[in-house]
């Protein structure tokens, strides 16, 4: 097992609401009694994600396009990636273009499982790293891009209900993510204090071996996305009473 750590700091810090909020009126809802409840959620969750392009002031959510994350640390892998990647001022583009492929809610057990695909997910950030990749020494800091193309994502959510002022809410306590991109493209500018020849060479080698490189640190990306998605989901669920999300 490689050493491994994840830190994520979201810019939009969640103030834990004391007042119940309402879903935006443009969000469509599903009835639990609907025999096609799961199919209904597939359509409505995807629609809500697309709408979040413009944010949702009712829920105190800023635009998700891009989603701003102040800090994200992807730890070393146990294989070819012997470097900790520190990202700051992260802009995550493309989340609102996600499609929901399937969804299975087990509401009596407070569980939800969903599969989605995001055509283009681009992380732009200021990076800082020093270590080795594929045995080659790398160091540098500057702007970077990590682009994940056609990424299949599985979401497994486990929640705990809680009461506030006589109303029932759900808090997601566990949000597991698995990611399977079709291809990942990396670009780190200003490697080796701006030595373009060496920098281009390293970018070329990393991209030629993107699968081995990404697979080695995928755990870190999955844990980071899990934390980000959990935080976003809880901004809705801990503020809107459960019976106003899933209708009787
Ligand atoms: C990131 O990608 C965008 C779009 O392809 C490009 O305009 C930009 O220059 C890239 N930035 C870096 C640091 O590679
Ligand atoms: C998602 O789960 C399904 C069913 O267990 C599995 O076949 C698929 O490979 C998983 N996909 C990802 C992206 O983990």
CATH code, 79: 3.15.10.30
In whole angstroms, what is the distance from residue 214 CA to residue 212 CA? 6
pLDDT at 8: 58
Task: Kindly give the parts of the chain with pLDDT less than 50.
Answer: 1-4, 11-15
- Residue 202: inside a domain: yes
- Residue 1: inside a domain: no
Find all residues with CB under 8 Å of 116, minimum gap 6, and list them.
98, 99, 100, 101, 152, 153, 155
pLDDT at 21: 84
- Residue 129: inside a domain: yes
Residue nearest to atom 7 of ligand 2 (CA): 154
Domain enclosing residue 13, as ranges? 6-243
Find all residues with CB under 8 Å of 28, minimum gap 6, and list them.
43, 44, 47, 48
pLDDT at 58: 84
The CA R_g of the chain, rounded to the nearest whole Å, is 20
What 8-state DSSP symbol labels residue 63?
Answer: P
Q: How far is the CA of 147 from the centre of ligand 2 (A)?
A: 21
Burial 214-236 (b: 16+ CB within 10 A, else e): bebbbbbbbbbbbbbbbbbbbbb
Burial class (CB in 10 A: 0-12, 13-18, 19+), 161: exposed
pLDDT at 13: 43
Find all residues with CB under 8 Å of 57, minimum gap 6, and list them.
none
Residue nearest to atom 3 of ligand 2 (CA): 154
- Residue 248: inside a domain: no
pLDDT at 7: 59
pTM value is 0.90
Residue nearest to atom 2 of ligand 2 (CA): 154
pLDDT at 209: 96
Contact between residue 210 and residue 186 where contact means Cβ atoms under 8 Å apart: yes
pLDDT at 4: 47
In whole angstroms, what is the distance from residue 38 CA to residue 46 CA? 12
Q: How far is the CA of 102 from the centre of ligand 2 (A)?
A: 11
In whole angstroms, what is the distance from residue 115 CA to residue 103 CA? 6
Q: How far is the CA of 133 from the centre of ligand 1 (A)?
A: 21
pLDDT at 62: 85
Q: How many domains does the chain have?
A: 1
Q: Which protein residues are within 6 Å of ligand 2, measured from CB?
A: 115, 152-154, 178, 180
In whole angstroms, what is the distance from residue 43 CA to residue 148 CA? 24
In the block, tokens 């992380």 appear at 123
Q: How far is the CA of 187 from the centre of ligand 1 (A)?
A: 8
Name the token pair of 134: 């594929």
- Residue 236: inside a domain: yes
Find the ligand nearest to 145 CA: 1
The Cβ-side half-sphere exposure at 36, using a 13 Å CA radius, reads: 5
């Amino acid at each position: 097992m490689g050493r491994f750590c994840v830190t994520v700091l979201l810019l939009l810090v969640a103030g834990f609401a004391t007042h119940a909020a309402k879903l935006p009126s443009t969000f469509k809802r599903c009835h639990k009694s609907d025999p096609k409840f799961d199919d209904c959620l597939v359509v409505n969750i995807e629609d809500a994600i697309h709408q979040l392009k413009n944010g949702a002031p009712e829920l105190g959510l800023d635009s998700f396009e891009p989603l701003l994350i102040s800090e994200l640390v992807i730890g070393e892998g146990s294989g070819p990636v012997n470097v900790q990647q520190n990202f700051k001022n992260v802009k995550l583009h493309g989340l609102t273009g996600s499609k929901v492929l399937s969804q299975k809610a087990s509401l009596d057990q407070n569980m939800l499982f969903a599969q989605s695909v995001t055509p283009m997910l681009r992380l732009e950030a200021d990076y800082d790293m020093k270590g080795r990749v594929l045995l080659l020494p790398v160091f540098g800091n500057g702007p970077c891009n990590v682009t994940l193309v056609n990424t299949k994502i599985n979401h497994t959510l486990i929640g705990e209900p809680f009461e506030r002022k006589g109303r029932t809410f759900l808090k997601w306590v566990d949000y597991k993510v698995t990611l399977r991109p079709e291809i990942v493209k990396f670009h780190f500018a200003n490697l080796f204090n701006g030595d373009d020849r060496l920098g281009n060479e390293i970018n070329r080698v990393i991209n030629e071996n993107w699968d081995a490189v990404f697979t080695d640190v995928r755990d870190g990306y999955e844990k980071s996305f899990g934390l980000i998605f959990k935080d976003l989901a809880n901004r809705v669920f801990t503020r809107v009473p459960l019976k106003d999300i899933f209708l009787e």
